[in-house]
Amino acid sequence: MDTKELLKKVRKIEIKTRRLSDHIFGGEYHSTFKGRGMTFSEVRQYQFGDDVRNIDWNVTARYNEPFVKVFEEERELTMMLMVDISGSKLFGTVDQFKIEIVTEIAATLAFSATQNNDKIGLILFSDQIELYIPPKKGRSHVLRIIRELIEFEPKSKLTNIAEALKFLSNVMKKKAIVFVLSDFIADDYEQNLKIAAGRHDITGIRVYDKHEATIPNLGMVEMEDEESGELMLVNTASKSVRLNYSKYYNEKVDYFKDTFTKSGSGTIDCRTDESYVKKLLGYFKRRG
C-alpha cells in the first residue's frame, strides 16, 4: 500500500470513528471508566444545599463567611489496546475482514480516551509481541496507532494470548483500562488473565464472522488453516466432521467467556455483520 492510499484510509477511519467518539461514546466512556479519585480544585462561597462537611474552616474564618472546598475527578487514565493480528484476522465473508472491524473499534475507543485526555498505548500480538507503542496522549498518536493497525505485517500467523497478557503485566505497572481484541480461538491463558486482571480493568472484545462457527455441507473441500498455512482436504459432507468442528469452535468461545468472567473481566461479542456501535454502547451502559 502506497503512502497516499494509506493516508486516505487513515483519514476515512478517523472521520467515521471520531464522529462516533464525539457524539456517542465520549460521555459513556467517561462515566464508565472513572478516574483515580477526587482531587482539590478550588474554594467558593457556600451555597444552600452544599455539604457542610466540605466547608473550608480556615478560609471561612479569614473572610468571616462560609466557603466550601470544590473537588473534581482526578481524570487521567491510561488505555491499552491489545490487538490480535495473527492469520485469522483476514477472515471475512460478508462486508469486511475481521481486522477492519477491529481497527474501527480500536480507533473509536482511542478517540473516546483522547476526548477525556487519557493516554493510549498499543500492543500488537500473534504468538509473540509484534509491536508495542507506549501510552501517549493526542490525536497524532491515535493516528499512528490507526496506521499501524492498517499496514503492520506480523512475523507470525499463530496466536498466543497468554504471552500477550504476560507482556502487559510486565510493562504496565499502574492500573490501565485494557481492551483485548481477538477472535479468541485459543486457550491456556486463564492464569495470565487472572494475574493481569488483578491490576487492570480488562475487557475482551471477540470479533468473529458468522460463517466461522459452522462448516457448510459442500462435499470434499480443500481448506487452508489461516494460522499454520496447512492445506488439507476436508469432507464437509460428513456430519461427524461438521459436528466436531462446531464442538471445537464452541469450546473456544465458552472458554473465552468463562475465563474472562471468572477473572472479573468484561466481554463483548461483535459479529462482523452486526453494529459494533450498539455492542459497545450496550456494554458501556451496563457498566456505567
For residue range 218-269, list pLDDT tens digits in order.
887 777 666 666 777 887 788 888 888 889 999 999 999 999 999 999 999 9
CATH number at residue 104: 3.40.50.410
The pLDDT value given to residue 92: 47
Residue 238, C-alpha cell as written in the block: 460428513
pTM of the model: 0.79
Burial of 39 per CB tally in 10 Å (0-12, 13-18, 19+): exposed
Report helix angle 98-115 to 276-287, nearest 10: 40
CB of 231 within 8 A of CB of 222?
Answer: yes
Residues 70 and 127 occupy one common structural domain: no
Residues 242 and 220 occupy one common structural domain: yes
CB of 123 within 8 A of CB of 132?
Answer: yes
Residue 142, C-alpha cell as written in the block: 491515535
CB of 186 within 8 A of CB of 204?
Answer: no
Residues 170 and 255 occupy one common structural domain: yes
Residues 58 and 166 occupy one common structural domain: no
Separation of alpha carbons 288 and 284, rounded Å: 6
Instruction: Please tell me the number of Cα atoms within 13 Å of 89 on its side-chain side.
Output: 25
By residue count, the chain amounts to 288
Separation of alpha carbons 223 and 175, rounded Å: 43
Among candidate residues 49, 74, 99, the one where a domain is terminated: 74
H helices present in the chain, as ranges = 3-20, 26-32, 57-63, 98-115, 139-151, 161-171, 190-197, 239-262, 276-287
Contacts of 110 (CB under 8 A, 6+ apart): 17, 79, 81, 120, 142, 145, 146
Q: What DSSP string describes 201-221?
A: EEEEEEEE-GGGS-----SEE
Residues 181 and 192 occupy one common structural domain: yes
Residues 204 and 277 occupy one common structural domain: yes
The region that residue 75 occupies, defined by phi over 0 for left and psi between -120 and 50 for alpha, beta otherwise, is: alpha
Tell me what percent of the residues of the chain surpass a pLDDT of 70: 87
For residue 182, the cross-strand partners are 206
The pLDDT value given to residue 117: 84
Among candidate residues 22, 47, 74, the one where a domain is terminated: 74
Q: Which domain holds residue 103?
A: 3-32+76-287
Q: Which has the higher per-residue pLDDT, 66 or 6?
A: 66
Residues 108 and 66 occupy one common structural domain: no
pLDDT digits (tens, 9 = 90+) for 40-96: 567 888 888 788 888 989 988 988 999 888 765 455 789 999 999 987 655 544 567
